[in-house]
Structure 1
Amino acid sequence: MDQHLIAIDLDGTTLNNRSKLTAETINTLRSAAKDGHIVSIITGRPYRIAQHIYDQIGIQTPMVNFNGALTHIPHQNWDKEYEIELTKELALDLLAHRDELGIDTITVESKDHFWANQATKDVPEFLPNRLKPSQLLSKRNLSDNPIAMTIEYQPGSKKKIIQAVNEKYGDFVEPRVWGGPYNILELIHRGTHKESGMFYVAKQYGIDRTHIIAFGDEKNDQEMIAAAGRGVAMNNAIPEIKAIADDVTPIDNEHNGLAKYLRDYLKLA
């Protein structure tokens, strides 16, 4: 079979409902890689909370973080690595106006560092529950231009924050709302979505769009699923993703739906 790019979202797709990889999923992805396919994690997660999953799978191919704003090969100096940055000014501006905008927690991330105005127990793993003094968000500590920012806001503040960001930074910043029960906004560079990372990886390996198979379940997978040669929605995906997908896995993420689908589709051993 021809070489494919297998673009995999993590949460709700490759991971089960406890955010874990199963042995079946790991073995299937390794088997696909062994057969010459390129397995690429394409996630909204920052690198700091995706690296252990990449290492567990045991692949050495590019990973896309922050919904397309960082593409790199972990543990390697890859000359094709790229970052699409925001500005320190945006982070410090929001920090200065957080009370009037109704912002609780601001987390600012680069590839290897993060800063926040406070630690929080909300949304464990995704938002920092401990901060070193050097990670406290301030003009002095913020050493890098951020790649992405995560804003946990007070109920009812979403429109106000989006309006403030759009008025001042709308030419290059795109606010995106997290799905599910969270009052969380994500700020990334305008026009940066998962599909740009997916196509960039495909280009490095000379893989045509028709040989890209992409899996996802949530709103931030929309562009990737629509653009892939074969966009596959998980059985547990939101209706908007199922509506644009070429196919839907018969089984959900809690029961190795991605692994079973890949084994059948690529006829893996």
Structure 2
Amino acid sequence: MKKIYITDLDHTFLRTDLSLSSFTREVWNAQASSSIMSIATARTYKKTAQFLQNIELNAPMILLDGALIATMDKKIIDTKFINKEVGDAVIDEGAKFGIYPFVLALADNNLNEAFLYSDILNEHQKKVLKKYSKDDNLQELKNIRAMSDNFKIVYFSDETQLRALSSHLQAIFGESLKYILAPEAYVGCYFLTLLHRDADKSHGIRSVSEYVGFDLKKLTVFGDNFNDIGMFELAGISVAVANAQEGVKKLADIVLPHTNDEDAVAKYLKGLKSAK
């Protein structure tokens, strides 16, 4: 039976400048000739497709932290949405803390995505938006509201504010939502992501496993942050890159000596070939 390799993107597979080296592309694509290969990311379909040009993927992608499972040719395998009523309620509760979220939603059945944001932004959110300034799906709203099919709702701020907001939202919405609070390495703050309760990378792994038909014991996953822990718990082998969060390293079967900027995933895969 083929082995399976699924990697996180940011700070794991991608370099910090969001590029992939020719070495990583060559090693990954060579491995794809004999293995099942895919990715699991918090990013949207559109961004993922941009970053992974010339990368071989032969299994569905886990996107938006597991809220969307889709193939590179836009075949939707599974979705987990936050509905409009709940989304609007979350936005209203966040407003009590003086903060408004980014809302990532499905705009149509061709996997076009909407990125909604308020005209009231903190400094961290402004920095994040600069990274998306060239995207054509941004919508600034004076009175931000959720859409019908919302993949996730994301707040960026300092840790203290987001911990308080997370506790407040959990007291109201309980287990009906998934809450991810973690450091945001690009901007230097924290983010709080809200998802459907069954939208996470571990549920995504199970969806891909059922669709493709593979044994989780044959699965190796790579990651760096706390939203990767669900994958670590399911996989036969969990691998953390050298720059991973310390709490993530403690849960990994293997901690690599290389960072994402040093082609950590590719060097691991290359080492497997050399060991044979």
2:103 is aligned, of 93, 104, 108, to: 108
Mapping of 1:85-234 within 5 angstroms? 85-103=81-99, 105-111=100-106, 112-118=113-119, 120-124=125-129, 128-129=132-133, 135-137=139-141, 142-153=146-157, 156-180=160-184, 181-234=188-241
**2:233 is aligned with 1:236:** no
Larger displacement relative to structure 2 (223-232 or 237-246): 237-246
Larger displacement relative to structure 2 (157-166 or 235-244): 157-166
Distance 1:129 1:8, change over 3 A: same
Are the equivalent residues in 1 in contact too, given 2:102–2:153 (CA < 8 A)? yes
2:252 is aligned, of 245, 248, 254, to: 245
More strand by share: 2
Mapping of 1:13-32 within 5 angstroms? 13-32=12-31
Letter of the 2:189 counterpart: Y
Structure-1 residue corresponding to 2:40: 42
Larger displacement relative to structure 2 (189-198 or 14-23): 189-198
Task: Report the TM-score when normalising by structure 2.
Answer: 0.83
Gaps of 5+ in 1: none
Are the equivalent residues in 1 in contact too, given 2:42–2:64 (CA < 8 A)? yes
CA distance in 1, matches of 2:55, 2:201: 20
Map Cα deviations across residues 102-157 of structure 1 (whole Å, 9 max, x no partner).
21x4111124222111375312566x547979823478975432011111246642
Residue 12 of structure 2: SS of its match in structure 1? Answer: helix
Are the equivalent residues in 1 in contact too, given 2:220–2:237 (CA < 8 A)? yes
Are the equivalent residues in 2 in contact too, given 1:102–1:154 (CA < 8 A)? no
Are the equivalent residues in 1 in contact too, given 2:8–2:40 (CA < 8 A)? yes
Task: Report the TM-score when normalising by structure 1.
Answer: 0.85
Letter of the 1:76 counterpart: K
Map Cα deviations across residues 222-250 of structure 1 (whole Å, 9 max, x no partner).
12122200111112222222222121223
Are the equivalent residues in 2 in contact too, given 1:175–1:186 (CA < 8 A)? yes
Distance 1:101 1:264, change over 3 A: same
Kindly state the Cα deviation for residue 38 of structure 1 after the two structures are TM-superposed: 1.5
CA distance in 2, matches of 1:25, 1:97: 43
Larger displacement relative to structure 2 (243-252 or 12-21): 243-252
CA distance in 2, matches of 1:203, 1:16: 30
Q: Count how many residue pairs are aligned between Structure 1 and Structure 2.
A: 263
Gaps of 5+ in 2: 107-112
Residue 257 of structure 2: SS of its match in structure 1? Answer: coil
Map Cα deviations across residues 205-226 of structure 1 (whole Å, 9 max, x no partner).
2211121010111111112122
Distance 1:130 1:116, change over 3 A: farther
Structure-2 residue corresponding to 1:82: 78
CA distance in 1, matches of 2:115, 2:249: 34
Larger displacement relative to structure 2 (90-99 or 145-154): 90-99
Q: Aligned-residue CA RMSD in angstroms?
A: 2.8
Letter of the 2:13 counterpart: T
Distance 1:163 1:130, change over 3 A: farther
Are the equivalent residues in 1 in contact too, given 2:80–2:198 (CA < 8 A)? no
Structure-2 residue corresponding to 1:12: 11
CA distance in 2, matches of 1:43, 1:88: 24
